[in-house]
């Protein structure tokens, strides 16, 4: 099978570069388009203190959350641009996308919207207990996208 559109989903873990290079090599082999995707997770903030029964600090908390998200978006854009520069040096057509929210959902939606032939994703070596409570993005993707999925295992794991 030839892959024309390869979606590489990376997080900001130590294995991101390895996963990217796996996708890049496949894009070079098949002369494919490459899309690099990252989901920005938003951690819930505590909305006020126990004495703040009427949400008097809600606007302040929302402003702080907004500023943190803007900062993260700027960092992610810069981080992704380093991968874009490298891919272009290697002669691979590449674009990037990021979304704010749950990674599994956004990877699935991006693969569907972009009509990807292959999704390349890494996996974290979480314990079974951690996976039970935190979930597994790679497992979710394997079971919920309509195209092929390559789950990359970092050799050091």
**Lateral strand order in the sheet of 118-122:** 94-100, 33-40, 5-9, 118-122, 148-152
The pTM for the full model equals 0.88
Helix (H) or strand (E) holding 86: helix 58-89
Q: Quick: pLDDT tens for 7-33.
A: 999 999 989 999 999 999 999 999 999
pLDDT attached to residue 94: 98
Q: Quick: pLDDT tens for 41-98.
A: 887 665 555 555 556 677 787 888 889 999 999 999 999 999 999 999 999 999 999 9
CA dist list (Å): 127 to 29, 130, 134: 34, 5, 10
Q: pLDDT-derived band of residue 123, with 50, 70 and 90 as boundaries?
A: confident
């Amino acid at each position: 099978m030839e892959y024309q559109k390869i979606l590489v989903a990376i997080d900001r873990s130590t294995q991101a570069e390895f996963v990217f290079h796996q996708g890049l090599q496949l894009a070079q082999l098949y002369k494919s388009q490459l899309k690099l995707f990252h989901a920005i997770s938003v951690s819930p903030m505590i909305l006020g203190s126990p004495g703040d029964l009427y949400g008097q600090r809600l606007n302040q908390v929302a402003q702080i959350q907004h500023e943190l998200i803007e900062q993260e978006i700027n960092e992610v854009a810069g981080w992704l641009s380093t991968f874009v520069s490298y891919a272009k040096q290697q002669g691979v057509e590449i674009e990037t996308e990021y979304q704010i929210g749950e990674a599994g959902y956004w990877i699935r939606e991006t693969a569907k919207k972009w009509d990807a032939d292959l999704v390349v994703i890494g996996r974290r070596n979480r314990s079974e207990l951690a996976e039970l409570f935190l979930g597994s993005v790679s497992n979710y993707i394997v079971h919920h996208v309509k195209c092929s999925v390559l789950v990359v295992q970092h050799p050091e794991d």
